[in-house]
């Protein structure tokens, strides 16, 4: 059984980003999280992470529709 709550480092590993990027996402409110314990350690509920990922898929799909692929992308060789 997977844990309900994840450490920020676990979230970073799942998203393949740095711990500091996840911390910024949490502190900005972009990714919902809670503070637990006397030292106020951050935890992200797994279901909230999955919702966040689905939201990003939807945002990306909307962006792709609004920015159709051209003959030559600026970051592509050729």
Q: How confident is the model at residue 64 (pLDDT cuts 50, 70, 90)?
A: very high
For the chain, give the percent of residues with pLDDT over 70: 90
| Angle between helical axes of 19-28 and 8-15 (0-180°, round to 10) | 110
Residues contacting 53, CB < 8 A, separation 6+ = 15
In terms of residues, how long is the chain?
78
Task: Kindly tell me if the per-residue pLDDT of 7 is higher than 80.
Answer: yes
pLDDT over 60 at 78, yes or no: no
pLDDT value of position 17: 98
Predicted confidence (pLDDT) at residue 23 exceeds the cutoff of 70: yes
- In order of their start, the domains of the chain are 5-66 (1.10.1660)
**Over the chain, what is the mean pLDDT?**
93
Report the pLDDT value the prediction gives residue 70, as an integer from 0 to 100.
Answer: 83
């Amino acid at each position: 059984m997977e844990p309900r709550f994840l450490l920020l480092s676990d979230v970073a590993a799942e998203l393949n980003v740095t711990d500091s990027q996840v911390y910024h996402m949490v502190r900005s409110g972009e990714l919902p999280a809670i503070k637990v314990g006397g030292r106020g350690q951050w935890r992200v509920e797994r279901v909230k992470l999955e919702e966040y990922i689905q939201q990003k898929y939807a945002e990306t799909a909307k962006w792709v529709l609004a920015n159709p692929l051209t003959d030559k992308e600026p970051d592509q060789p050729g």
